[in-house]
Structure 1
């Protein structure tokens, strides 16, 4: 039987310091995403971009972030987490410094890619740290991590609105540069680790997967059939590499575990619904309500703050009642929230803000409960790659949501209203998008209940 890695046991103070470190790092990373989400209308206006074009500010970032999250997950099985996080933060801040002085759209995209290459280390390793160093408090810590993500996502729109409205969206990069402040605490508080497993990372496999995904998303946003052919060719090569290479970037054996595969599928579909909402709302708010950047931030703020509070409570629910009822409870909120937004588009913005709140609070519950399920269905020695693939698909869901919804929003003269109780007119396309998210959540909930019914009984 293969020996499991042995890690240092942390006392109460060391655990609190480590949780604080995770929260600090996640705050910088998540704010970086949500601040720019609010600024998307301003970026589109400055560079004269369509929604499908400006979506690459998020899509490009999330795509590299997704690949990087799995890369760091695999590297965490080979190298100390402290070393990986140090390198990641330096790259993240360097990309922010480039973005601060970006004079044009290509430079902005390059800065976002560099940021993503480093920033991917933070959420990827933040989910591995509790599993590795605090196994007895996983549910609690995953709840804190997820609520921090929600809190930072709420703080981001406010800061993005204030800074972008008062100055310029480029100044939003300053917050990411400040992540360097966390470095000395990271070096002091993260435990030293013994030599990890020997092995190597499949760089070629990662590149092929990145080409497959980016070419496909380029086809979605531009209907370029050459990009579709490139995606198909790279996809075939990726599959060949996956099944012939000794240690592939994505191990197909992981996906043979039905419970693991459907856990990450559940999180993937839930994240599409959440990122879809976060991407569409700022564009909708500018288009339908003519809100300023600051007002868009205020529109999102109550929901994100409520999600932060619920995330703390959700961690305790997971430890007390298990992950399975929490997942189902969360998806009911996605269904209700998406339907309410679809129905009430066009009414005063404060009502829409309350509808967004209903959907927003599902995010930390889905993240923490599915992450906790993963720790039950994968062996400890595969935690890095298992959670890495989980993060890969979550961030890929964000890239897909941004690209697909951006392409849909390019459509003109949409008259077919899918929600019979929604208002017709200029808001039709937005109402249809949100009713689609509601239907997606219903299907995901049905799949989860079907697959996990027996497994949940065994793990009560």
Structure 2
């Protein structure tokens, strides 16, 4: 047993490397969004679909890997995921002349690369002692922030000096981790009659996709299709005993209240760095490599807070940590909406406050999710929670892309002293403020119900 634990600890850094390499491209392509928009001759709204689809695939893949890990070995799942990640990388590089193929390739990359983020926690929980696994729970957040940090850094450099299509090749490096994964992870697959609810995941994915498409093209037919998929999804989970999420979860008022807070809050998480690249390049005329360096400190702040997130929550308590996180977010967005056209260094400070606030929220929100669920349903509940984060971030990205194209947002300034170039970005940041305020109000009214 002790020998196996030592072997597992030797391979955990390999899983973390795959986690970081896969997560790197999310921020790298967000930073490269203005160049993609120009090169393909498409709007910012259309470019945002790439990130939205990637996030959606990531959320669905997370649930699939978590479900498969009950009877398929982590060793086998990691190797399969890495091979899929490498295939998507090569496909994206050779077909980078087509935006549609770029979107498809990014989706394939995320389908493979999510293996690491999904299986890091599961591997620690399954094979390591409680003291050892707690360390990797903290590293999970650190890997996410580390991927963002590296992505911000290389995104600007590649887009400016090397060529954005070469970003696709970065995750190919994950292939070098396979020998150690095969050597140190045990092959402990078991025969099982358990089936993955692909139909349920497909229907929920379609709901998210059609919501995103509706905000992009504003077609009543797409909205009707969305309602149809919502109906089919609820009919499916009502009648299928093996559904990945059951109707009981939607009857759990505490759980649904937490998900509402998640929806309002995380709808803006991925949108900020996407918006930042347009703000910096269009308002301050800064090249993408310099935009990366400006955002770098904010992800360092996020990385540090992520590592110490559990300690902060234990020290302050769940409610105070949430209030502090929301205060940081609201303050960052309000200040940003007022000074975004003044000085880029002030905008860098705003980004530190924003990303730090989000890093502070994850642990207390995760605690609320766990406490709202009976012990036997926490696995499925946490999987659905992570899926909801990706879906809301995906939808938020598409809405942000659409807001960038709306004429009223470009001409009517809420902040009357804002320059013409900064009006639209100031208005969108104020929309983000509204989301955070609604989330805070929801928390305030529900805090007693949540036991806070």
Once the two structures are overlaid, the 10-residue window that deviates more, 401-410 or 327-336, is: 327-336
- 1:417 maps to which residue? 413
1:167 corresponds to which of 162, 165, 184? 162
Q: Is 1:408 the counterpart of 2:403 in the alignment?
A: yes
Alpha-carbon distance change, 30 to 162 in structure 1, aligned in 2, over 3 angstroms: same
Once the two structures are overlaid, the 10-residue window that deviates more, 148-157 or 47-56, is: 148-157
User: Where do 1:63-142 residues align within 5 Å?
Assistant: 63-102=56-95, 103-133=97-127, 136-137=130-131, 140-142=135-137
- 1:5 maps to which residue? none
Q: Note the C-alpha offset of 1:115.
A: 1.2
Alpha-carbon distance change, 301 to 199 in structure 1, aligned in 2, over 3 angstroms: same
- 2:144 maps to which residue? 149
| Alpha-carbon distance in structure 2 between the residues aligned to 1:269 and 1:195 | 40
| Alpha-carbon distance in structure 2 between the residues aligned to 1:183 and 1:283 | 38
Q: 2:117–2:140: 8 Å Cα contact kept in structure 1?
A: no
- 1:200 maps to which residue? 195
| Alpha-carbon distance in structure 2 between the residues aligned to 1:209 and 1:279 | 25
Query: How many residues are aligned here?
Result: 449
| Alpha-carbon distance in structure 1 between the residues aligned to 2:101 and 2:415 | 41
- 1:36 maps to which residue? 29
Deviations 1:94-115 (A, max 9, x none): 1011011122112212211211
Alpha-carbon distance change, 363 to 189 in structure 1, aligned in 2, over 3 angstroms: farther
| Alpha-carbon distance in structure 1 between the residues aligned to 2:8 and 2:412 | 54
Structure 2 residues not aligned, in runs of 5+: none
TM-score normalised by structure 1 residue count: 0.89
Q: Note the C-alpha offset of 1:121.
A: 2.6
Q: Note the C-alpha offset of 1:155.
A: 1.8
Q: Note the C-alpha offset of 1:259.
A: 3.4
| Alpha-carbon distance in structure 2 between the residues aligned to 1:429 and 1:191 | 54
User: Where do 1:170-189 residues align within 5 Å?
Assistant: 170-189=165-184
Q: Note the C-alpha offset of 1:221.
A: 0.4
| Alpha-carbon distance in structure 1 between the residues aligned to 2:76 and 2:376 | 19
Q: 2:336–2:429: 8 Å Cα contact kept in structure 1?
A: yes
DSSP 3-state at the match of 1:55: helix
Alpha-carbon distance change, 179 to 452 in structure 1, aligned in 2, over 3 angstroms: farther
| Alpha-carbon distance in structure 1 between the residues aligned to 2:373 and 2:123 | 16
Structure 1 residues not aligned, in runs of 5+: 1-7
| Alpha-carbon distance in structure 1 between the residues aligned to 2:392 and 2:217 | 19
Provide the aligned C-alpha RMSD in A. 2.7
Q: Note the C-alpha offset of 1:187.
A: 3.2
| Alpha-carbon distance in structure 1 between the residues aligned to 2:450 and 2:234 | 30
